[in-house]
């Protein structure tokens, strides 16, 4: 078991804590050594004091074509939210590439967006190709593919570089799910999340796959709230622990945790990192 220390990245809108990462742009060397290489997921805590840009991430195919790396499917669990806090989650209609270019040029893209109000405990799944933006006054747990590719479509007049053509090419005009409370268990092609409530004590063993262990066999436990002990180490809100295959987890106290398990197929080679 390894308790991880976050890497902080300050932003104009707030900051990110990279709490589990082997990505070159923010690699925890002890975590990289623990898993034995390139972990397929990147886990962050995002503190948004102001709204982020309107953006989209490429899927694996587009990311490999444009950048030579993984795509970026992700999800958010709302840790805290100011009253009235909102997200951009998809668009309010189906728009052509030409219509989107015109809206961006006219600084009216915000009229095409779908806004949703959120509160602590809400869960939002963002498959690659979904237009999205985090609003101000939100703190989120983000679980994503290990990728740092973002195509900014619109930045609310702040003047930062946008990536309109690549971004528009990556948009998928597919319906988004309703924002809802976390359902207890969620799975997608890249990860599985499971909510765990520890009342006094909890024990489980992390399974071992056939063959030699790979980095993606390691399972993460993120403390959503509460306090207690995790394999003998003090545990509190926003602590995260990496557990190797075959290890036993022993937790005690009053802990609300999220178990994060990669779902990337064992036969899939890790895409090359962009130099």
Asked if 45 and 141 count as a contact pair (C-beta separation under 8 A), the reply is yes
CA distance 106 to 251: 54
One of 51, 70, 139, 152 is an active-site residue; which one? 152
Q: Is 152 a catalytic residue?
A: yes
For residue 140 the two structure tokens come to 């989120």
Q: Tokens for 264?
A: 């990337």
- Helix, strand, or coil here: 60? helix
Distance (Å) of CA 102 to CA 98, 112, 171, 226 = 6, 11, 16, 48
Task: Catalogue the active-site residues.
Answer: 152
């Amino acid at each position: 078991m390894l308790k991880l220390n976050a890497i902080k990245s300050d932003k104009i809108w707030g900051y990110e804590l990279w709490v589990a990462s082997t990505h070159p742009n923010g690699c925890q060397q002890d975590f990289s050594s623990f898993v034995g290489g390139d972990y397929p997921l990147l886990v962050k805590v995002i503190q948004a004091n102001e709204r982020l840009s309107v953006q989209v991430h490429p899927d694996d195919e587009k990311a490999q074509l444009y950048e030579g790396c993984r795509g970026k499917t992700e999800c958010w669990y709302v840790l805290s939210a100011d009253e009235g806090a909102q997200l951009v989650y998809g668009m309010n209609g189906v728009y052509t590439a030409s219509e989107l270019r015109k809206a961006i040029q006219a600084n009216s893209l915000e009229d095409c967006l779908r806004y949703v109000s959120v509160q602590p405990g809400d869960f939002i799944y963002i498959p690659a190709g979904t237009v999205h933006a985090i609003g101000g006054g939100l703190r989120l747990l983000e679980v994503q593919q290990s990728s740092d590719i973002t195509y900014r479509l619109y930045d609310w007049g702040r003047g930062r570089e946008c990536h309109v053509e690549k971004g528009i090419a990556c948009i998928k005009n597919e319906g988004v799910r309703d924002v809802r409370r976390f359902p207890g268990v969620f799975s997608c092609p890249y990860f599985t999340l499971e909510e765990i409530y520890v009342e006094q004590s909890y024990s489980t063993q992390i399974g071992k796959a056939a063959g030699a262990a790979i980095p993606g066999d390691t399972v993460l436990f993120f403390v959503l709230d509460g306090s207690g002990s995790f394999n003998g180490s003090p545990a509190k809100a926003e602590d995260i622990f990496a557990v190797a295959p075959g290890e036993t987890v022993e937790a005690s106290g009053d802990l609300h945790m999220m178990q994060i398990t990669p779902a990337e197929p064992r036969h899939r080679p890790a895409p090359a990192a962009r130099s």
